[in-house]
Chains A and B, each alone.
Chain A
Amino acid sequence: MVPDLNPVVLLFASIFTSNILLANFLGMCSFISISKDMKSSNGLGLAVTVVLTLTAMLNWVLLQYVLIPLDLLYLRYIIFIIVIAATVQILEMVIDRVSPALYMSLGIFLPLITVNCAILGVALFMQIRNYSFLQTVIFAFGSGLGWWLAIVALAAIQKKLVKAPVPAGLKGPGITLITIGFMAMAFIGFSGMLSVQ
């Protein structure tokens, strides 16, 4: 029962209206702590997009050709998390060998990604919603882009907030969350036009 979804709609919905961070609350932990700096936000966003797309593909193949035929669906959490941890580890080693320059900008963010809820969340969403391979790739890539967009936008807003007169108790995470709330309203505002379930 693969859902009937136009790939273009799915891409836009996963970037904007069903943004993995703003509508589904996934990937908040690293989001709040990293988003203070533009450059690291960009690096982390790129790393999340790459890892998300790769692991979603791997997890889809494992799910369809190993877990479902062998009736081992209850092991999916463990399998997914191992795939994610292994992918991150291998990616880290490959990048280190191939391009030390890229490693310098991306390498430090990779370990953070294993515990990023967005990665596991996308794997679980694609299993629950019965996506086809193509849909999974599009959904994962779009979610990664959406996350990237959100964290860079938040970093830019935070920069402006430095000079704003924020009450002492609201400083730090409080004002960040309220800013995220406004961003979420802007992103979700389009949900009448397209949405994915």
Chain B
Amino acid sequence: MDEDSPVQILKNNIWYSNPIFIQILGICSTLAVTNNLTNTVIMTLGLLFVAAFTNLTVSLLKNLIPRKVRMILQTLIIAFYVIIVDILLRAYLPEISKALGPYVGLIITNCIIMGRAEAFAQSHGPLISAWDGITSGLGYMWVLMLIAFVRELMGFGTVFGITVLPAGFTPWTIMVMAPSAFFLLGTFIWVAKTIILRQEGGK
């Protein structure tokens, strides 16, 4: 199958070269908000938006940007979209914006966005680049949401803030704290890689 077809890009970004468990990119800024599903959804949606538009813009401007200054220009393009996300969040979801704190701004240094702009948008057309940004964001989103689901369920007994576990349940304090995110992501990578290794072995 053609490597650059939209379906193949979707498959690659969601599973075969998932930004998180294959490329290990961009976990810095978002792992911190995974103790709560609502925050994770907002944060990853913000990232998806920035990734899609940065890829689109970089792809449109790729022939105009001199190679030497492209890094700093890409960073400025990313910063521009992050500011838009930040202002939108503060206007419409002030509480979540406050809870996310500095992490919205840190989307700028999220390696996924820069990585996709550099690896994909520099050499592809605008629309397919935007699609690559969206699917990268989706690949990122489902993994983080899974982690956030486990952490919120075990740490608070809730899903999206609604209590689901019986009142007798003792919350696992460790799930609210930082180390659990590392453990869960590590375990997740283990499972995913084992499945991928098995698939490759079966071929």
Contact = CB atoms under 8 A, between A and B. Distances in A.
B190 A170 contact: yes
A130 to B, nearest CB: 13
Nearest to A182: B179
Interface stretch (B9-17, B52-60, B102-110, B134-142): B102-110
Interface string B162-196: 00000000000000011111110111011111100
Contacts of A120: 105-106, 108-109
B106 A177 contact: no
Contact of A173 (B24, B82, B83, B181): B24
Interface stretch (A6-14, A21-29, A50-58): A21-29
Contacts, number: 132
Interface in A143-197: 167-178, 180-182, 184-185, 188
Interface stretch (B41-49, B72-80, B122-130, B151-159): B72-80
A169 to B, nearest CB: 3
A124 B197 contact: no
- The size class of the interface chain B forms with chain A is 35 or more
28 contacts: A24-B178, A25-B27, A26-B28, A26-B106, A74-B83, A77-B82, A77-B83, A78-B80, A81-B75, A81-B79, A81-B109, A82-B72, A114-B71, A115-B109, A115-B114, A117-B28, A117-B109, A119-B109, A121-B102, A121-B109, A124-B101, A169-B191, A174-B193, A176-B186, A178-B182, A181-B182, A184-B179, A184-B182
Given A117-B110, A181-B179, 6 more contacts: A77-B82, A77-B108, A85-B75, A173-B186, A174-B190, A178-B182
